[in-house]
Amino acid sequence: MTITLYGGEVSYFTGKVRAYLRWADLPFEEVIASADVYGQVILPSVGIPVIPVLRTQSGEILQDTTVITEGRRAACTDKRREPCFPANQTTPCRNIASATRTKPATLAPWT
């Protein structure tokens, strides 16, 4: 069973979870929350008509964006399997960001 994300195509919160899943390189299937999906999946499992909803590989249902991202992060750091993404992953953007970091701004002369 794969990760399934139930949500809206233009939903801000669904987009937040979608972006996290892509960033973490977790394979997932996205299902648009139609009336049928609300009636057959979301309402029976969550109890209220909300999105996004995530079904994990084990069948667990997660509803809040914070719960979803923290739950996936905890699953990725499970000691029994490889992490989903390295903690100190080096990318060109991270290299530039760390090279251009400066000391905190000093006080302006008039303060």
In a domain, 48, yes or no: yes
pLDDT for residue 86 is more than 80 = no
Average pLDDT over residues 54-69: 90
In a domain, 50, yes or no: yes
SS3 109: coil
What pLDDT does 23 receive? Answer: 87
In a domain, 34, yes or no: yes
**How does residue 4 score in pLDDT terms, banded at 50, 70 and 90?**
very high
In a domain, 105, yes or no: no
In a domain, 107, yes or no: no
In a domain, 52, yes or no: yes
Q: Which residue range(s) make up the domain with 10?
A: 3-99
pLDDT for residue 81 is more than 80 = no
Report yes or no: 4 and 31 within 8 Å, Cβ to Cβ: yes
What pLDDT does 83 receive? Answer: 45
Report yes or no: 24 and 68 within 8 Å, Cβ to Cβ: no
Question: Model pTM?
Answer: 0.66
Q: At what angle do helices 65-76 and 12-23 cross, to 10 degrees?
A: 10
pLDDT tens column, 17-59: 999 999 888 899 999 999 999 999 999 999 999 999 999 988 9
